[in-house]
């Protein structure tokens, strides 16, 4: 099997696992699935909805079938940060990709979002982003962040540097500490990278779970020893970590290595005894609210599923997706990345090829393969163009089919636009879907004040149905608003002059 199909299979099936698992991430039981999707088991993409942004200022994200979440978004961000020699531009990733990701994040976890916010400080660097934050009357510390937000994005690092295990571990370590400070997150990320490099070299017919897991666990503590991390910034980071408290990073790191090794032994015995998926994931802590998102547990769950279903690789993803109560999207993404690396893209069924940005995923895999084979050269950056920038928009001046710039992803076109009033009176969310020239699609939202927006409108050019309905919802009683809404939606060819008259009446302008 040629390397290209393995690279494409790994990237695509990681995104597919994420997209399928995102649907079930917050579902508690099969009854809920039946009520929402008409099935007790998710095996295909579905349209669905999700409330975003909280009760008072939020909006409804109408999610199209096949859409992926933050797992794949940040994976692609890391991929764009990899230079032609396979090294990661950690400063670019942290200060550009990660920071601007906040504007189009879908399903992002609390830790990664907090890290992206905090790294905007002038004093913060990718190797010095120590922070704390409060949520639900609890204080969370960067040094305690051991979730899988680092592991879920590092697949491109492993693929771009295949054959150089030392470099892969060090680059993953450095990328991880931009957002996560606990060894559980860092070791989990490095373990996933190593698991990818070990499975991708197998031919499917030669693969056995015994050989695979034995190789991963062989000389485990020496293999993942901190002595292999020699980059000065990483050493400075460890010193800073140790300066802020009474415990030492090296001690906790060693304890976590032992914990990880024990979990590898656990799945080896589970496979040997043919225990059920549910029982094994329970033993890994995947259903425990305190550990379900662990960087160790979820990665090892992915390794376990890819191993258990070596002869039915798609089942590995479906099992992860339907392990309700676990971190379904991340586990399915890990399992997908591994089975794709083993079996290649030819196992992807047509129904799953509708995953978001399928061609861009393919192009990303091709680029990573070219980097690994030392035949990729970074193209020249396109010349700057004078288009409206969507990042940090302070005025709602966007329309359908408008060309915009979204930094650092470049030029794109607006393909969807919604304006949703919030529960808090006088506010609304502008929700903008963009298809970028690079091939990625994103959804950006901005909260606006209705009255401020109306003051900025040039009524001669921009009185549209969205604006009128927003204003009507503020000014009219529900019965009158409903009648106006029906009228505007029933007659699609209302003249601009009539729209302006309605607008002037509602805004009480002379």
Whole-Å CA distances, 108 to 166, 330, 434, 472: 30, 11, 19, 34
Tens of pLDDT, residues 314-342: 999 999 999 999 999 999 999 999 999 99
134: CB partners within 8 A, 6+ apart: 140
Closest CA to 66 of 118, 125, 22: 22
Q: Are residues 15 and 46 in the same domain?
A: yes
Residues 6+ apart with CB under 8 A from 205: none
Within 348-458, where are the H helices? 358-372, 450-455
Q: Tell me: do 155 and 303 sit in the same domain.
A: yes
My answer on whether 173 and 227 are in the same domain is: yes
Higher pLDDT, 497 or 174: 174
Provide the 3-class DSSP secondary structure of residue 181: coil
Same domain? For 396 and 360 the reply is no
Whether 323 and 212 share a structural domain: yes
- Backbone CA torsion sign across 385, 388, 390, 393: positive
What's the rounded mean pLDDT across residues 141-165?
96
**Quick one: how far is CA 468 from the chain centroid?**
35
Q: Percent helix, strand, coil in the chain (nearest 5)?
A: 55, 10, 35
Sequence-separated (6 or more) residues with CB below 8 Å from residue 219: none
Based on the fold, state whether residues 449 and 338 are members of the same structural domain: no
Percentage of the chain beyond pLDDT 90 is 78
pLDDT average, residue stretch 19-34: 96
- What per-residue confidence (pLDDT) applies to 136? 75
The domain total for the chain is 2
- pLDDT value at position 302? 98
CATH of the domain at 408: 2.30.30.30
Residue 112 lies in a domain: yes
Closest CA to 160 of 439, 374, 380: 374
pLDDT digits (tens, 9 = 90+) for 387-396: 889 999 888 8
In angstroms, the CA 93 to CA 106 distance is 18
| 335 and 412 both lie in a single domain | no
Residue that terminates a domain, selected from 347, 372, 397: 372
Q: For residue 208, give the CATH number of its domain.
A: 1.10.4080.10
* pLDDT bracket for residue 242 (50, 70, 90): very high
Q: Is residue 67 part of a domain?
A: yes
Domain carrying residue 445 = 388-506
Q: How far apart are CA 304 and CA 461, in angstroms?
A: 59
List, in order, residues 6 or more apart from 451 with CB less than 8 Å away: 426
| Whole-angstrom distance, CA of residue 462 vs CA of residue 453 | 11
Average pLDDT over residues 192-196: 98
Whether residues 416 and 349 fall in one domain? no
Q: What is the DSSP letter of 129?
A: -
Indicate the pLDDT class of residue 212, thresholds 50, 70 and 90.
very high
pLDDT for 405 equals: 95
pLDDT in tens, 281-307: 999 999 999 999 999 999 999 999 999
Higher pLDDT, 59 or 507: 59
pLDDT given at position 55: 87
How high is the pLDDT of residue 458?
47
Select from 75, 121, 31 the least CA-distant residue to 440.
Answer: 75
Q: Is residue 332 part of a domain?
A: yes
- Please tell me what DSSP assigns to residue 449: E
Round to whole Å and give the CA distance between 140 and 421: 32
163, 159, 162, 131: which is closest to 144 by C-alpha?
131
In a domain, 312, yes or no: yes
Please report whether residue 463 resides in a domain. yes
**Dihedral (Cα; 251, 257, 258, 262), 10-degree rounding:** 160
pLDDT, residue 454, reads: 61
461 lies in the same domain as 346: no
Least confident of 76-85, 308-317, 448-457: 448-457
What's the pLDDT tens digit per position in 172-186?
Answer: 999 999 999 999 999
Task: Return the half-sphere exposure (C-beta side, CA atoms, 13 A cut-off) of residue 194.
Answer: 22
Contacts 24+ apart (CB under 8 A), 167-170: 167/86, 167/87, 168/193, 168/194, 168/197, 169/193, 169/194, 169/224, 169/228, 169/229, 170/228, 170/229, 170/230, 170/231, 170/234
Long-range contacts of 361-365, Cβ-Cβ distance < 8 Å, separation of 24 or more: 361/8, 361/11, 361/12, 361/15, 362/8, 362/11, 362/12, 363/439, 364/11, 364/76, 364/79, 364/156, 365/4, 365/7, 365/8, 365/10, 365/11, 365/12, 365/159
Task: Write out the two tokens for 271.
Answer: 């496979």
pTM exceeds 0.75, yes or no: yes
Residue 510's pLDDT band, with cuts at 50, 70 and 90, is: very low
- Tokens of residue 348, six digits: 């992807």
Read off the pLDDT of each residue in 99-122 and give the average, rounded to a whole number: 94
Same domain (yes/no): 363, 429: no
SS3 67: coil
- Cα torsion for 222, 225, 228, 230, to the nearest 10°? -160
Structure tokens at 268: 């080896």
- Mean pLDDT for 347-374 is 98
Question: Does a structural domain hold residue 377?
Answer: no
- Structural domain includes residue 378: no
Question: Is residue 113 domain-shared with residue 10, that is, in the same domain?
Answer: yes
User: What was the pLDDT predicted at 450?
Assistant: 81
Q: Using CA atoms in the order 232, 233, 238, 239, what is the torsion angle rounded to 10 degrees?
A: 80
Residue 470 belongs to some domain of the structure? yes
349 and 203, same structural domain? yes
């Amino acid at each position: 099997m040629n390397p290209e199909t393995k690279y494409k299979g790994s990237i695509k099936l990681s995104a597919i696992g994420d997209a399928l698992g995102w649907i079930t991430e917050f579902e508690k039981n099969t009854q809920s699935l039946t009520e929402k999707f008409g099935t007790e088991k998710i095996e295909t993409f579905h349209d669905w909805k999700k409330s975003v942004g909280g009760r008072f200022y939020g909006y409804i994200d109408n999610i199209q079938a096949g859409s992926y979440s933050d797992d794949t978004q940040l994976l692609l961000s890391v991929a764009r940060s990899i230079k032609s020699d396979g090294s990661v531009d950690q400063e670019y990733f942290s200060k550009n990709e990660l920071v601007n990701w906040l504007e189009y994040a879908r399903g992002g976890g609390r830790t990664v979002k907090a890290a992206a916010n905090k790294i905007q400080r002038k004093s913060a660097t990718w190797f010095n982003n120590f922070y704390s934050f409060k949520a639900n009357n609890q204080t969370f510390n960067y040094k305690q962040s051991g979730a899988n937000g680092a592991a879920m994005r590092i697949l491109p690092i492993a693929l771009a540097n295949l054959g150089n295990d030392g470099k892969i571990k060090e680059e993953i370590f450095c990328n991880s500490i931009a957002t996560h400070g606990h060894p559980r997150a860092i070791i989990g990320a490095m373990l996933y990278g190593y698991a990818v490099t070990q499975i991708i070299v197998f031919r499917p017919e030669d693969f056995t779970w015994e050989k695979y897991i034995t190789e991963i666990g062989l000389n485990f503590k020496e293999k993942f020893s901190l002595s292999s991390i020699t980059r000065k910034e990483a050493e400075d980071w460890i010193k800073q970590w140790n300066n802020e408290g009474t415990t030492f990073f090296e001690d906790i790191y060693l304890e976590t290595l032992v914990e990880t090794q024990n979990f590898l032994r656990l799945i080896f015995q589970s496979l040997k005894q043919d225990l059920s998926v549910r029982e094994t994931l329970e033993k890994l802590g995947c259903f425990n609210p305190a550990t379900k998102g662990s960087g160790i547990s979820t990665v090892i769950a992915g390794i376990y599923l890819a191993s258990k279903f070596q002869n039915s690789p798609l089942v590995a993803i479906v099992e992860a997706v339907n392990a309700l109560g676990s971190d379904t999207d991340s586990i399915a993404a890990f399992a997908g990345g591994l089975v794709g690396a083993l079996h290649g893209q030819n196992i992807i069924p047509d129904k799953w090829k509708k995953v978001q940005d399928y061609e861009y995923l393919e192009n990303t895999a091709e680029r990573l393969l070219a980097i690994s084979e030392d035949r990729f050269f970074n193209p020249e950056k396109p010349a700057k163009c004078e288009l409206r920038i969507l990042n940090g928009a302070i005025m709602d001046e966007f329309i359908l089919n408008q060309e915009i710039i979204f930094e650092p992803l470049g030029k794109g076109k607006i393909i969807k636009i919604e304006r949703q009033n919030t529960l808090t009176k006088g506010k609304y969310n502008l929700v903008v879907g963009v298809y970028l020239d690079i091939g990625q699609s994103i959804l950006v939202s901005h909260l606006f004040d209705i009255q401020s927006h109306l003051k900025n409108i040039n009524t001669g050019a921009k009185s549209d149905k969205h604006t009128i309905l927003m204003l009507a919802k503020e000014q009219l009683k529900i019965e009158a608003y409903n009648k106006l809404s029906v009228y505007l939606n029933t007659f699609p060819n209302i003249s601009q002059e009539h729209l302006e008259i309605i607008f002037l009446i509602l805004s009480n302008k002379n």
